[in-house]
Structure 1
């Protein structure tokens, strides 16, 4: 076993310990997950990106700070912080099982074609829905999947030889995809953002957060659709060649059914095991992903299909898990820092800050959004800001607004960070696919939309805070 395989086994072992602890809670399993997470990070240290190393350095510095500043029960607090880090790492790594099944699924290929092969107005709406739905399953992989199809289908020939039509089509399709993907933190039951919120703020429950997040996501998508309709170049309409629309609604229904299957399976585990939905999702995601993958091999019989499925998972996990090193380092460090930081903050200090007359409650949702967008503009991953702020809020004795409105403000900031920051992976990936600077996409093409969404979300969340106070 060479290359990245040893570290892949470390990550797989950590996942197994975390999943087993969900089903049969045991301190030995949690200890195993902590040790395996640290071992994985140590094994992949040399190949990590600089920002991942900075996050680990901050986590180590905060650990030493907790040990010397008189934090109550520092060993227990550090162990709990490592548990949060292992949970976030497992939540991210588990997406492998869905992504791997989707990579060779005929259903995904059919659905992608259905999204792209449409007349302009309908194409925007369906690509937005596709960015959202596939974003739930594939995360950022949806940008590669649909982005490549956009590039292939948007040829000069398809635009009737008119370069202006091709450029307009490219801009509209790329923005539809980006905006659809950007609402997954708000409206996905499988998103890491929902898991962060439910973990950092135990008073929240998915039954209130998810519907409110989906309503907020619908507002964002609706604004995007409206702007696209208003800015559609009417003078080019008669020049564009007609498109024979694809009508494969069954493929769209199939992808939707898969997302619902993961969610309802998690609900079943939540009820059976008596655990929060975010932890139940850790079990349902690999189960549904493995079932989806196995179905692709069952044509030759159950025994051979299961063997082929197992072989593929082993081979692909061995290649893929080590490549997650940077994401795992950032996510686990963010979870660790947030949990440890909240334990080190005196609750009365944070409570006094939040209740300060300098921070009237009406502006808190807007400040929550900006607290995530601002750091993202200089390259700080939204999960870092969201985790630390949410964990700090959990230490406050009371909040002047409903917890839901502040949580939605933070996740709304995550959504806007995807739409506005040229330093996010999503913007850089789309820029590379279409041959444009990422700043052109998020600022030149999407800047006015981001400002409009910020204004509307600030008003919406302030109103929501008053309604559910």
Structure 2
């Protein structure tokens, strides 16, 4: 039986990741080390409290992290500094997740945003894939994998009235694939995503300003390839015309306006903060996004008898004491992925050097091309992309040493990250798509998107190599 008093005390753990955001924002704007230390301490305390409440697979990551600390203490003279840097990396990931969860929480209760998703899901069959893949991209910029949950739920609602099971299954599959691919393409360029922020932090000389436009080109390539493959493989006719579900013929500019306004405020706000203050993109995201989330809640109609200010306060309390603790598995996993990747890299670099492996002897184009494929391959083995990138990239020669532009390496890494997001049966995006599509994660991942990953991966590889030569 649940103890209400214990539940209330456990809910207070949400204060800790909220504190991590405050400390990390202060550090990003001041570069004062005590703020980074405070954020690390709060993040470690959060993980320590949440670990007993998570699944065994999450606890395994914690045990691996502890083992790495012991290993580093026995083998590195500067193990304390290495551990502190790893804890700071984990705190950064936790703070970013908390900030993005805040805006996702605000958007998911907005009637305008929900109606926008319903409009996309109700497009006529010939336009539905395009609508949902574009919608998956736009929603993914704000909601991350929450876009799959929202749009996927609305999509399955729209097909539930179809009496023919074969038609219903086929339509659901195509709609979920469109949403998956739309979301995955955001990982190539979005300043709000873990992919670009983590990659920029581990690739020396990289910046979001330099990588944004090439990343957008990558995203467009993925969207077009996904659309082309759907057009190539879709059945000519799924059902008689009179059996088609109701469609929405409203004006796109009107129906999508709330989402586009929210996107414009967030993306332009992050860009302006980044360029005006000089703070890194992650600092701009962590400081701006919670403010936008609070304003978005304030614009929503409060419950009867409550003022807007009281409504915002109540939602903030619920977010800290209920929403954040409910994401305990994700919080522990993401912190430990950043921590293990960072500390593991400290241990791996001297190990590689001790084995006499000279990665500088490998042609730069091979390293760049390999990064597109290594990340989705490790994703099939259950390795989180944050862990894979944080662990592998520091082992590589720096772009300056290889004589290549950092942007080419960033495009390769984020492209591989996007492919992993569409195919790995261990990622949240694929797990959500599998649950909504009522298939196994392996089917929703490599089964639905295997050919897509091969074609898109080949195109991304060529694009990264073009950037390597042209920049």
TM-score between the two structures when normalised by the length of structure 1: 0.90
Distance 2:309 2:289 in 1: 18
Q: CA deviation at 1:241?
A: 4.1
1:126 aligned residue: 131
Name which of 232, 253, 265 aligns with 1:230.
232
Secondary structure, in 3 states, of the residue corresponding to 1:446? helix
Q: Is it true that 1:314 corresponds to 2:331 in the alignment?
A: no
Deviating more after overlay: 335-344 vs 32-41: 335-344
Q: CA deviation at 1:352?
A: 6.1
Q: CA deviation at 1:235?
A: 4.2
2:188 aligned residue: 186
2:91 aligned residue: 86
Q: Is it true that 1:447 corresponds to 2:450 in the alignment?
A: yes
1:70 aligned residue: 76
1:288 aligned residue: 292
1:327 aligned residue: 330
Contact 1:100–1:293 (Cα < 8 Å) also in 2:
no
Q: CA deviation at 1:131?
A: 1.0
Contact 1:85–1:333 (Cα < 8 Å) also in 2:
yes
2:39 aligned residue: 33
Q: CA deviation at 1:202?
A: 4.0
Distance 1:240 1:67 in 2: 70
Instruction: Write the mapping of 1:338-377 to structure 2, written as runs, cut at 5 A.
Output: 338-344=341-347, 345-346=349-350, 349=353, 353-356=358-361, 359-377=362-380
Question: CA 1:179/1:49 → structure 2, altered by over 3 Å: closer, same or farther?
Answer: same
Which runs of 5 or more residues in structure 2 are unaligned?
none
Distance 2:272 2:266 in 1: 10
Name which of 145, 150, 159 aligns with 1:154.
159
Q: CA deviation at 1:289?
A: 0.9
Q: How many residues align?
A: 461
Question: CA 1:40/1:282 → structure 2, altered by over 3 Å: closer, same or farther?
Answer: same
Name which of 375, 380, 383 aligns with 1:380.
383
Name which of 389, 406, 428 aligns with 2:409.
406
Secondary structure, in 3 states, of the residue corresponding to 2:402? coil
Contact 1:379–1:423 (Cα < 8 Å) also in 2:
yes
Question: CA 1:156/1:300 → structure 2, altered by over 3 Å: closer, same or farther?
Answer: closer
Distance 1:271 1:452 in 2: 36
Distance 2:276 2:224 in 1: 37
Deviating more after overlay: 431-440 vs 212-221: 431-440
1:18 aligned residue: 24
Which runs of 5 or more residues in structure 1 are unaligned?
none
Question: CA 1:401/1:56 → structure 2, altered by over 3 Å: closer, same or farther?
Answer: farther
Q: Is it true that 1:8 corresponds to 2:14 in the alignment?
A: yes
Distance 1:88 1:224 in 2: 30
Distance 1:221 1:378 in 2: 26
Contact 1:342–1:395 (Cα < 8 Å) also in 2:
no
Name which of 270, 276, 281 aligns with 2:280.
276
Name which of 435, 444, 459 aligns with 1:456.
459
Distance 2:146 2:201 in 1: 25
* Residues 104-163 of structure 1, C-alpha deviations (whole Å, 9 max, x = no match): 102211211110111123111110011111112111111111111111111354xxx444
Q: CA deviation at 1:404?
A: 1.8
2:207 aligned residue: 205
Question: CA 1:102/1:310 → structure 2, altered by over 3 Å: closer, same or farther?
Answer: same
Distance 1:129 1:97 in 2: 23
Contact 1:52–1:329 (Cα < 8 Å) also in 2:
yes
Contact 2:50–2:332 (Cα < 8 Å) also in 1:
no
* Residues 357-402 of structure 1, C-alpha deviations (whole Å, 9 max, x = no match): xx44333333112221122112221221022223334768712543
Q: CA RMSD in A?
A: 2.6
Q: Is it true that 1:257 corresponds to 2:255 in the alignment?
A: no
